[in-house]
Amino acid sequence: MMSFFLVLITLIFGSYLFQLSLPPVLLLKGAAILFVPAIYFYGCLAFPFPLVLGLTFVTGLFNDLLLVPQSAKSDFVLGTTILIYLIPGLIMHGLRPLFLRHRWQSHWLLAEISAVLTPFVLLAEYSILSFQRNEFFFNDVVIWRIFGPGLISLLIAPCVFFILTPLSHALGYRPGLPGTR
């Protein structure tokens, strides 16, 4: 279990760096292609609660260290994304019994649910920034920036899930099944 946990953290870190080199999708008004939420949500389903908290902490912290410029008057406090990720992460963890059925249909359904939850992170970030900057507006660009990554994740998340499941099995971790290390 721990080896798969470490692999997942490495994958999240690598995905953050990979995302840096990906241009936004101009067709979707600059929506970003995000791999990290899909990997994180898979971890929320695969791991027991204490490791979910660990994964949430690392994912949120990496996000803020890598993506949020920390100036002297930064209006987005380092560590906020940990709390933002925690909410959808706990929702996904609540669906773990479905994940433990080990049927591809339920895994596919959970992957799509994770895609639906992806915009939550962006919406929460946008809401916090808007509150801090005293200006709350929604235009088509903002809506695409929030919900576009969710649409893209509808395609990405099932692929991520179907890659991570054999990877966890290869590392000897079969959640909910006997013989798991």
Residues that bind another protein (CB under 8 A): 17, 19-24, 26, 29-32, 49-50, 53-54, 56-57, 61, 65-80, 82-83, 122, 125-126, 129-130, 133, 139, 141-142, 145, 149
CB 1, min distance to another protein, A = 14
The residue among 24 and 109 lying less far from another protein, judged by its C-beta, is 24
Measured from the CB of residue 52, what is the shortest distance to another protein in angstroms?
A: 9
Between 13 and 108, name the residue whose CB sits nearer to another protein.
Answer: 13
d(CA 13, CA 43): 14
Residue 69 or 179: the one with the smaller Cβ distance to another protein is: 69
Collapsing DSSP states into helix, strand and coil, what is residue 25?
strand
Give DSSP secondary structure letters for 9-77. Answer: HHHHHHHHHHHHTSPPBGGGTTBPP--HHHHHHHHHHHS-HHHHHHHHHHHHHHHHHHHS---TT-SS-
Q: Which is nearer to another protein, 53 or 109 (CB)?
A: 53
> CB of 83: closest distance to another protein in angstroms?
7
Asked whether the beta carbons of 175 and 168 are under 8 A apart, the reply is yes
Q: Quote the least distance from Cβ 142 to another protein, whole Å.
A: 5
